[in-house]
Copies of this chain bind each other. A is one copy, B any other.
Amino acid sequence: MLDTITLKSPSDAAVMLRPNGLSTAQMFATGCPHQPGLRKVAANETLWCEGEQREHIFIVRSGTVCFSRMLPDGRRIVLGFAYPGDIIGIGSDFHCCDAQTLQVTRLEAIPAAAFKRAVNDDPVLGKRAAAAVNQALDAAYHHVVVISKLSASERLASFLMGLSVRNEKHGLSPLSVLLPMRRIDIADYLGLTIETVSRTFTMFKNAGWIALDQANIVIFTDIQKLRALASGECEEAHRP
């Protein structure tokens, strides 16, 4: 008798373990035929699992996607987030992490084979794809630095300043950010517990560096201090 314990192939196991029980192909079998490739996905849906074969490359049009890995005992590590404008799913032929939506998310899906052909035909697109992978590698190295050497407050400041910089790049104000993810996602991203994240938010608020509106909207009231914290320049910061 077949059960999940006996499965050996990572991609089989990944499909079996999907929270919604659907493969990517099944999930995207239905959709609006007038706008081929454009899909609307509900919140908390799994786009793909670690070990699965890549079927689509996606362009995020709205919403947020969260990339994570799981340890055998269930501990979760968030590797990053994707926001509107990001191209996600490029890289090797097999996904190296899970991907889940955090909100209702609109995605433009490009079949992997079509994307591969397009890259081969168009050297400019190829360079852009390569640049995206390099950017991901750079971000991963930055992530390692943040997690291995920064204190809890430095980590949270680094995270918030990353969102601030992103806002600025997209023509929005860098002085406030909207958090589409929950505290647990931030904690798993920064290598902390949810309690520490919550406590650090409160500390920032009490110190007068941020103001919180309904826990998901952060207004920076002393962005200089936060920037200094984020880059690890503060002498008085207590590090792990």
- CA of A75 to CA of B231 in the docked complex: distance in angstroms? 12
B residues in contact with A162, CB < 8 Å: none
A77 located at the interface, meaning its Cβ lies under 8 Å from any Cβ of chain B in the complex: yes
A179 located at the interface, meaning its Cβ lies under 8 Å from any Cβ of chain B in the complex: no
Instruction: Tell me the residues in window 98-153 of chain A with beta carbons closer than 8 Å to chain B beta carbons.
Output: 120, 123, 130-131, 133-138, 140-141, 143-145, 147-149
CB pair B130–A69 under 8 Å, yes or no, is no
Copies in the complex: 2
Instruction: Tell me the residues in window 10-59 of chain A with beta carbons closer than 8 Å to chain B beta carbons.
Output: none
B residues in contact with A79, CB < 8 Å: 141, 144
CB pair A232–B148 under 8 Å, yes or no, is no
**A50-80 toward B: CB 8 Å interface, digit per residue (1/0)?**
0000000000000000000101110101010
A97 located at the interface, meaning its Cβ lies under 8 Å from any Cβ of chain B in the complex: yes
Q: Report the minimal beta-carbon distance from A92 to chain B, rounded to whole angstroms.
A: 4
CB pair A92–B145 under 8 Å, yes or no, is no
How many residues of A are in contact with the other chain, CB < 8 A? Answer: 37
CB pair B191–A148 under 8 Å, yes or no, is yes
**A137-173 toward B: CB 8 Å interface, digit per residue (1/0)?**
1101101110111000000000000000000000000
- CA of A136 to CA of B92 in the docked complex: distance in angstroms? 11
Partner of A137 from the list B140, B145, B149, B239 (CB cut-off 8 Å) is B140
- CA of A130 to CA of B138 in the docked complex: distance in angstroms? 15
Q: Which residue of B lies closest to A133 (CB)?
A: B133
A96 located at the interface, meaning its Cβ lies under 8 Å from any Cβ of chain B in the complex: yes
Partner of A96 from the list B77, B141, B147, B149 (CB cut-off 8 Å) is B141
23 cross-chain CB contacts under 8 A = A69-B141, A69-B145, A71-B145, A71-B149, A75-B149, A75-B232, A77-B148, A91-B134, A91-B137, A92-B131, A92-B135, A96-B138, A120-B123, A133-B133, A133-B134, A136-B137, A137-B137, A137-B140, A140-B143, A144-B144, A147-B148, A147-B191, A191-B240
A-B residue pairs, 4 tightest by C-beta: A148-B191, A140-B140, A92-B134, A71-B232
Binding site for B on A (CB under 8 A): 69, 71-73, 75, 77, 79, 91-92, 96-97, 120, 123, 130-131, 133-138, 140-141, 143-145, 147-149, 190-191, 231-233, 235, 239-240
